[in-house]
């Protein structure tokens, strides 16, 4: 394949977004519109990307640090042809130029490759789509031989042309030499007073070039974002596509319309995900996993046959096979749970290694800690890991039992099979096979009178 120069138009202000943020930096599935387009472009070999910015130019530039991406500015937004003109100095002489849009985020690599493959001697390619309601789009005008002759914008179209349902998406591919020659010939003699890139089609035809139309697999690929309503509609359409891919790979979803993925999610087979679950960043799930409703998983690895109960939050963690988490557990960054572990309701872990078969069943905080295998942590236990300046580690050996409502003040070590009596506050290490008791002595005061309410 010849080298490809990809020009991405991203200069629009996006007034209808009602936002200080440049339109192309608004997000779908946790990623900016422009990032989606760049990701699709990355699938094309031997390519360079030229992004034409305008409104919020510096903000857009600062959002992307890429060696294969050149940013050029369009100081005045005088139309799409004028925007492409800004990129001309950066085009390679014999490249094929593919023109994309920073606010059309869901175009697929397959469509882009089809566009490039259709470009050949005396032929350019244009992405078109048939819509039931073509309002606002430029119409594709064909001749008697059904060949594309021109594109007529909505405001310039006559009544017959307005009846056409095949419309222009704006995406086209052609040789750099042709683009260099034809762009200066475009004028702004139209209802908008702008330089339309669509005029390239009539110019190509006048030069004897054929225009090959390519159609996307779905109209969603070519839908643009002009306001927040359209942004939310594309979000849901994209999420449904992701949900369908996940289901086809062997995972059941209670309701695909209440599933959200913002990043990369890989999964084995025979998993079940209940409603309102969110997956962010890079998440991998094994097989036979059951995830209850309202769970949030970020940048984590989930092993096989794990049960994650409702309202559990997992972030930057590794969960071993057959672990049971939640409900209402919070697994914070740096947590590694071994096989057959249990972390129950209202338990929080942070930077904690929990060995195989260990249990932290309820109402506990375990942070900056290393637990061996077969450890039992009673309800209400906390590791006091922070002295106001530094963090300190708690180390607990195999088979240790920590009674309920215990306070473990780090740095602290409890050796194998140590036993901590309920209600203890520990400041010293506990030897192996020893019982640690640290409580005040109980007193019972006979004849004690309860307080009574004072009269006003």
pLDDT of residue 167: 96
pLDDT, tens digit, 9 for 90 and up, residues 336-375: 999 999 999 999 999 999 999 999 999 999 999 999 999 9
Nearest to 265 by CA among 257, 254, 255, 249: 249
Give me the residue label for tokens 């073509």: 134
Active site residues per annotation: 362
Q: Which residues contact 238 (CB under 8 A, 6 or more apart)?
A: 28, 29, 106, 220
pLDDT of residue 34: 97
pLDDT of residue 46: 87
For residue 414, the surrounding DSSP H or E stretch is strand 412-414
Q: Looking at residues 118-145, what average pLDDT do you find?
A: 94
Nearest to 259 by CA among 278, 235, 281, 287: 278
pLDDT of residue 383: 98
The encoded tokens of residue 297 equal: 């998983």
Average pLDDT, the chain: 95
**Helix or strand or coil: residue 406?**
coil
pLDDT of residue 191: 77
Higher pLDDT among residues 46 and 261, named by residue: 261
State yes or no: pLDDT of 208 exceeds 70.
Answer: yes
* Distance spanning both ends of the chain, measured CA to CA: 92
Q: Domain 4-222, what architecture? A: Alpha-Beta Complex (3.90)
Same fold, 4-222 and 250-436: no
State yes or no: pLDDT of 400 exceeds 60.
Answer: yes
Instruction: Quote the CA–CA distance of 327 and 384 in Å, as a whole number.
Output: 24
Q: Domain 250-436, what architecture? A: 3 Solenoid (2.160)
Give me the residue label for tokens 């209202």: 346
pLDDT, tens digit, 9 for 90 and up, residues 299-310: 999 999 999 999
pLDDT of residue 161: 95
pLDDT, tens digit, 9 for 90 and up, residues 79-109: 999 999 999 999 999 999 999 999 999 999 9
pLDDT of residue 193: 86
State yes or no: pLDDT of 189 exceeds 90.
Answer: no
* Least confidently predicted of 28-32, 188-192, 231-235, 414-418: 188-192
Q: Looking at residues 253-280, what average pLDDT do you find?
A: 98
pLDDT of residue 12: 87
Residue 251: phi and psi, rounded to 5, are: -110, 135
pLDDT, tens digit, 9 for 90 and up, residues 42-73: 999 989 999 999 999 999 999 998 878 999 99
State yes or no: pLDDT of 1 exceeds 70.
Answer: no
pLDDT of residue 290: 98
Q: Where are the domains of the chain?
A: 4-222, 250-436
């Amino acid at each position: 394949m010849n080298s490809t120069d990809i020009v991405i138009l991203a200069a629009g202000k996006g007034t209808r977004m009602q936002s200080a943020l440049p339109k192309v930096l608004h997000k779908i599935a946790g990623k900016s519109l422009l990032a989606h387009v760049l990701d699709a472009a990355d699938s094309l070999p031997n390519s360079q990307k030229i992004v034409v910015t305008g409104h919020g130019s510096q903000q857009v530039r600062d959002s992307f640090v890429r060696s294969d991406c050149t940013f050029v500015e369009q100081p005045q937004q005088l139309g799409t042809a004028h925007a492409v003109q800004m990129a001309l100095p950066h085009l390679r002489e014999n490249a094929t130029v593919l023109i994309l849009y920073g606010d059309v985020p869901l175009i697929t690599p397959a469509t882009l490759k089809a566009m490039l493959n259709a470009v050949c001697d005396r032929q350019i390619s244009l992405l078109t789509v048939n819509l039931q309601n073509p309002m606002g789009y430029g119409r594709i005008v064909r001749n008697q031989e059904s060949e594309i002759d021109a594109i007529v914008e909505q405001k310039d179209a006559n009544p017959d042309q307005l009846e056409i349902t095949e419309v222009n998406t704006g995406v086209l591919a052609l040789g750099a030499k042709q683009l260099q020659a034809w762009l200066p010939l475009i004028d702004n003699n139209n209802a908008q007073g702008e330089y339309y890139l669509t005029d390239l089609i009539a110019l190509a035809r006048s030069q004897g070039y054929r225009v090959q139309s390519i159609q996307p697999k779905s109209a969603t690929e070519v839908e643009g974002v002009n306001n927040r309503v359209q942004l939310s509609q594309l979000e849901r359409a994209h999420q449904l596509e992701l949900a369908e891919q996940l289901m086809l790979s062997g995972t059941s979803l209670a309701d695909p319309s209440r599933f959200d993925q913002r990043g990369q999610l890989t999964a084995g087979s025979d998993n079940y995900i209940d409603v309102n679950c969110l997956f962010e960043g890079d998440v991998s799930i094994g097989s036979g996993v059951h995830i209850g409703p309202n769970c949030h998983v970020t940048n984590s690895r989930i092993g096989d046959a794990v049960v994650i109960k409702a309202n559990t939050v997992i972030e930057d963690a590794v969960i071993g096979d057959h672990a049971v988490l939640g409900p209402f557990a919070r697994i914070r960054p740096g947590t590694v749970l071994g096989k057959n572990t249990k972390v129950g309701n209202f338990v929080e872990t942070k930077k904690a290694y929990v060995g195989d078969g260990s249990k932290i069943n309820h109402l506990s905080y375990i942070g900056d800690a290393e637990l061996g295998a077969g450890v039992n942590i009673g309800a209400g236990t906390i590791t006091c890991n922070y002295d106001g300046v530094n963090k300190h580690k708690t180390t607990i050996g195999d088979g240790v039992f920590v009674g309920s409502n215990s306070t473990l003040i780090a740095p602290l070590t409890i050796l194998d099979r140590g036993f901590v009596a309920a209600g203890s506050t520990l400041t010293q290490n506990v030897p192996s096979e020893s019982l640690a008791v640290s409580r005040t002595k109980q007193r019972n005061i006979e004849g004690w009178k309860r307080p009574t309410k004072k009269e006003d």
